[in-house]
Amino acid sequence: MHPLILIAWTTLALQEYWYSGRSFVRSSLMYAYGFLFIAVSFALFWGQYYPLEVGCVMGWFFTALYAVFQVPQIIKNQKMQSVEGLSVWYVSMMGCASFADLGMAYWRLLPFPSVLNAIRGVLVYAIFLYQFNRFGRPTVK
């Protein structure tokens, strides 16, 4: 699931980079992806020698990232009292993936970070559904 989620994140980040004219956003994305590239390279190299340790550290690292990466969107929606620009289909796909992830985590007895990530995904999906219900669809003028 991690590679699929990483592809979704990369797509969203590249869209922001491409369509945003703000230099701060572009430089922040460059630094973030540079850091992630170095971290993944480090994990790939050391993972050959210490697979359990690197896997555990990366599991908790991604669990921490997943815990906070959608919080700015939730806060923005709440502050603006709007879900404009947020796709209900994208949110639903991520929600379905979270439910599937939760089922797989329990079925295959996956490690605790996998279970936490799935529960986080289901909770975030519930929050987005609440926001779509509360703020409604944006009106076209």
Q: Kindly state whether residues 35 and 81 are assigned to the same domain.
A: no
Domain membership flag for residue 74: yes
Residue 137 has pLDDT above 70, yes or no: no
User: Number of folded domains in the chain?
Assistant: 2
| Single-letter code of the amino acid located at 58 | M
What average pLDDT does range 60-84 have in this prediction? 89
pLDDT interval class at 139 (50, 70, 90): low
Confidence (pTM): 0.71
Q: Kindly state whether residues 33 and 75 are assigned to the same domain.
A: no
CA dihedral 64, 70, 71, 72 (to 10 degrees): 120
For position 1, what pLDDT does the model report? 59
Domain membership flag for residue 103: yes
Q: Which domain holds residue 34?
A: 1-50
> Can you tell me the distance from the alpha carbon of 58 to that of 113, in angstroms, rounded to the nearest whole number?
10
State pLDDT tens for residues 86-104: 889 989 998 999 999 999 9
Please give the backbone phi and psi of residue 53, each rounded to the nearest 5 degrees, phi first: -65, -45
Domain membership flag for residue 22: yes
Domain membership flag for residue 58: no
